[in-house]
């Protein structure tokens, strides 16, 4: 820890953010995340809109509802609540997420939380692997300790994720507010803010995991493949284990098992989930850093 140099970490993080944006991988991650957010939102809104339009077009059938009101109505149905309870893995959370909070934003956030680990892989897979492959990292290795390089690039990637997450949620909230106009503005923004925290906290362990993979593999393509597999494989395994009674138990051994905790109605669960996600981050960072410090570069 004596080699830790915060000035170096700041410089490396700043330039890593800037370079990844200009090299293209950052742009891909940003556009992919924003596009995903909008596609998920339109998946909920578009069918209802066309249904309302269809009803309005029928002779003598003037609906009393707007698309937003209809979405809200559907969201507050028992079927929707049951579906959310099943997804979140808690019995009473459907009511909280769909009735007490803006239902549409809750649903969109739940879907994006499922996809976020994969999206993060696109933003974090090339923290080191490309520069190890072309030996460009050697220009920096002589100027700073490995711990500063590793943490600097991790911090840079995390900040980039934070910017992306904030942009996605702001875009979503604005889209819902102006498109549907059924929610109180303040409710929507406060819930969106909690969504930003949830998205950001879920990004952290996966960025740290990708740092570890990217720092261990000399090929960017190999790193991306392994990041996606590592992020996705435990999820697939758990989905397959869904038939077994202990699925919820095993789910907790991977960060994705805690992804909905930050949006929970119980503050204790929110705090515990945040703590566990941070603990996963620290664990992946520690292992990745150890491996990066020992390996030949």
Partner 1 sequence: MTNNNPYETSESSIGGSPDSAVSVQNITKNYGKQTVLDNVSFEIPKNSIFGIIGPNGAGKTTLFSIAAGFLKANSGSIHVLGINVEHVSKLMGRFSMLPQDAEFQAGIPVLEQLTMFAELNGMDKVEARKAALEALKIVGLEEVAKKAARTLSHGMSKRVALCQAFIGNPEVILLDEPTAGLDPDNARNVRDLIREYSKNKTVIISSHNLKEIQNICHNVAILDKGKLVENSSMDNLVASRNVIRVELNEDASAEVQAALLALDCVIEVISTDSQSFDLVTQNTGRKETLKAIYGVMGEHDIYPKSIQEGESLESRFLQVTGGKSDGSSSS
Q: Computed from CA positions of residues 16, 18, 20, 22, in that sequence, does the dihedral angle turn out positive or negative?
A: negative
| 18 is an interface residue for partner 1 by CB under 8 A | yes
Task: Please identify which residue in 11, 28, 114, 287 interacts with partner 1, judged by CB under 8 A.
Answer: 11
CB of 11 to partner 1, least distance (A): 5
Residue linked to tokens 């969201």: 75
Round to whole Å and give the CA distance between 106 and 80. Answer: 12
Task: Indicate the length of the chain as a whole number.
Answer: 297
Round to whole Å and give the CA distance between 94 and 90. Answer: 8
| 294 is an interface residue for partner 1 by CB under 8 A | yes
- Binders of partner 1 among residues 122 to 141 (CB under 8 A) are 131, 134-136, 138-141
How many Cβ atoms are within 10 Å of 159's Cβ, its own excluded?
14
User: Mutual orientation of helices 267-294 and 185-216 as an angle, nearest 10°?
Assistant: 20
214 vs 273, beta carbon nearer partner 1: 214
- Binders of partner 1 among residues 23 to 62 (CB under 8 A) are 23-24
CB of 280 to partner 1, least distance (A): 24
Interface region with partner 1, contact rule CB under 8 A, candidates 9-17, 61-69, 112-120, 156-164: 9-17
- Binders of partner 1 among residues 146 to 205 (CB under 8 A) are 147-148
Q: Are 212 and 282 in contact, with CB atoms under 8 Å apart?
A: no
| 221 is an interface residue for partner 1 by CB under 8 A | no
Non-local (6+) Cβ contacts of 89 within 8 A are 248, 251, 260
Interface region with partner 1, contact rule CB under 8 A, candidates 21-29, 75-83, 172-180, 260-268: 21-29
CB of 204 to partner 1, least distance (A): 25
Token representation of residue 59? 């002779």
Report the interface residues with partner 1, using CB under 8 A. Answer: 2-3, 5, 8, 11-12, 15, 18-19, 22-24, 131, 134-136, 138-145, 147-148, 293-294, 296-297
């Amino acid at each position: 820890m004596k080699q830790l140099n915060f000035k170096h970490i700041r410089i490396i993080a700043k330039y890593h953010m800037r370079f990844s944006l200009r090299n293209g991988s950052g742009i891909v991650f940003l556009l992919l995340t924003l596009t995903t957010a909008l596609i998920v939102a339109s998946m909920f809104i578009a069918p209802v809109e066309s249904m309302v339009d269809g009803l309005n077009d029928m002779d003598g059938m003037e609906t009393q509802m707007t698309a937003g009101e209809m979405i809200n109505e559907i969201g507050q149905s028992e079927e929707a609540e049951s579906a959310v309870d099943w997804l979140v893995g808690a019995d009473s959370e459907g009511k909280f997420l769909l009735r007490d909070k803006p239902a549409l934003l809750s649903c969109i956030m739940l879907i994006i939380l499922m996809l976020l680990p994969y999206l993060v892989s696109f933003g974090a897979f090339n923290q080191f692997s490309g520069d190890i492959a072309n030996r460009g990292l050697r220009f920096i290795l002589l100027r700073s300790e490995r711990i500063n390089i590793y943490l600097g690039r991790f911090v840079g990637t995390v900040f980039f994720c934070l910017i992306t997450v904030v942009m996605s949620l702001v875009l979503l909230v604005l889209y819902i507010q102006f498109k549907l106009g059924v929610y109180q503005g303040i409710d929507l923004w406060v819930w969106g803010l909690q969504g930003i925290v949830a998205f950001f906290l879920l990004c952290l362990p996966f960025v740290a995991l990708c740092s570890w993979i990217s720092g261990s593999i000399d090929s960017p393509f190999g790193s991306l493949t392994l990041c996606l597999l590592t992020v996705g494989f435990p999820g697939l395994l758990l989905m397959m284990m869904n038939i077994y009674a202990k699925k919820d138990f095993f789910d907790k051994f991977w960060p994705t098992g805690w992804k909905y905790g930050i949006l929970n109605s119980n503050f204790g669960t929110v705090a515990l989930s945040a703590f566990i996600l941070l603990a996963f981050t620290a664990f992946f960072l520690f292992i990745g850093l150890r491996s990066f410090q020992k390996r030949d570069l």
